[in-house]
Amino acid sequence: MTGLRMRRIVLALVALLGLGLAAPAFAQGVYKPGTQVQKSLQIDGKRLALPAGTWVVGADGDSGWTDPSLGTFGYLRSVVLFRIADGKLDAVLEVNSNALPTIDGWGMAAACGRQDLVLAVIRYRAGWDGSCYFVTHTLMNQEPTLVLRQARDYAARSGWTVPKVMLTAGFRSANRTDVLDVRYHFAGETRGMAPENVTRWRDSAWMASKLDEDPRRSAFARAVSDWAVGYTAVVDAGLKNRLPDEEAIAMPDPGSRTPAADIIARRMAELSLLRQAGAITEEEYGVQTQSLKEHGLGSSSTAPDLAVVTAVKALSYRIIVSISHIFVDYYWTGNYVAAGALEVLQITINSAKFYMHELGWAKYKGVPRTDAARTIDFRYIGANV
């Protein structure tokens, strides 16, 4: 065997090994309907910890969602799972995740910024990184994609009835390259609540404004909200595939202690250890513990809206320019009244021109914003409007 031929064989083996090492995470294969999953769901290099019980895959495939602004993002994968309790459908889980990494980020879910839900929190939104969660109800009557229709068909063949209205806890964790979009839909019927037959989202008894009228629904909505506070950190860890193997997740339970209180207590203890070890000063410890006491887990930084940034720039620019112009106007007119009138006109007209120019340039001709400040929604099994 010649030396040249040997080198070619070695290079070919190295190339094959490289392809094997660089194989995309979705090479794990598609989950077949009926596959039972416990503890965690592996999906495209990410891992989502699952609440207790056995989850049955109803469908796994292309979500049918597209967005040309993201370029060659491959496809968005949707996995739908069902949790069965005492022979009845107890919960539905939707997981949306990208199969290929992108470079432009995935943004936040629209529901995280709404004011008419039971709960909507943006934990942090900075650069391409973002994390948020919300609690609301969903009309489970929307079937826009093949994978969602397949999930419904599998449930029907299995004899499971999908309730028309379910309480939903949604989560979005995203960075510059990857996204985990997770929605849990909980059935009220398996928790002793009467089924609903409404056709409009606002008519449901799960509306935030109506929960006080139904103590049982109110208690469960509060339990799901408390559960979501702790679970959102699990989704964030799963995006990076950093979940510990022993991670145990409970289902929302109105009778359990508030997860948020547990997390705050744990953080207080951790801060105390850091102070004792000298990692943080007494002053830093006081500031952070006081923040926990006053604001709880809270949320972190957010990226300001384009219109807000433009308005602030216009205001600051106007102040500087007006101070200089008042002297110039008086120099040429020699009259205080005339100088003041000119200044009022300049403030009114020029500020409006500056604002519209800046806004138009940034929106149509400037570098497009591709960070977590934008909103991206996928295609879901139900409707929240």
pLDDT by residue for the chain (385 residues), tens only, comes to: 455 455 444 444 433 344 333 333 333 579 999 999 999 999 999 999 999 999 999 999 999 888 877 766 778 999 999 999 989 999 999 999 999 888 878 989 999 989 999 999 888 887 788 999 999 999 997 766 888 899 999 999 999 999 999 999 999 999 989 999 999 999 999 999 999 999 999 999 999 999 999 999 999 999 999 899 888 888 998 998 877 665 568 899 887 655 555 556 556 666 776 777 777 788 888 887 777 666 555 544 444 555 666 667 667 766 777 777 677 766 777 777 777 777 777 777 777 777 677 767 666 655 555 556 788 899 999 899 8
Q: Which tokens sit at 145?
A: 């994609």
CA–CA distance, 152 with 383 (Å, rounded to integer): 15
CA–CA distance, 21 with 100 (Å, rounded to integer): 15
Q: Which tokens sit at 321?
A: 């320019």
**Residues whose CB falls within 8 Å of the CB of residue 262, separated by 6 or more in sequence, listed in order:** 230
Backbone angles phi and psi of 348, in degrees to 5: -70, -55
Q: Which tokens sit at 23?
A: 């194989």
CB of 134 within 8 A of CB of 179? Answer: no
The C-alpha angle 167, 89, 215, rounded to 5 degrees, equals 40
pLDDT of residue 252: 92
Helix boundaries (H) for the chain: 3-21, 146-157, 215-239, 259-276, 282-295, 306-333, 336-360
Q: Where are the domains of the chain?
A: 23-252, 257-302, 306-365
Nearest to 239 by CA among 32, 25, 58, 57: 25
Residues paired with residue 257 on neighbouring β-strands, in sequence order: none
CB of 96 within 8 A of CB of 205? Answer: no
CA–CA distance, 312 with 319 (Å, rounded to integer): 11
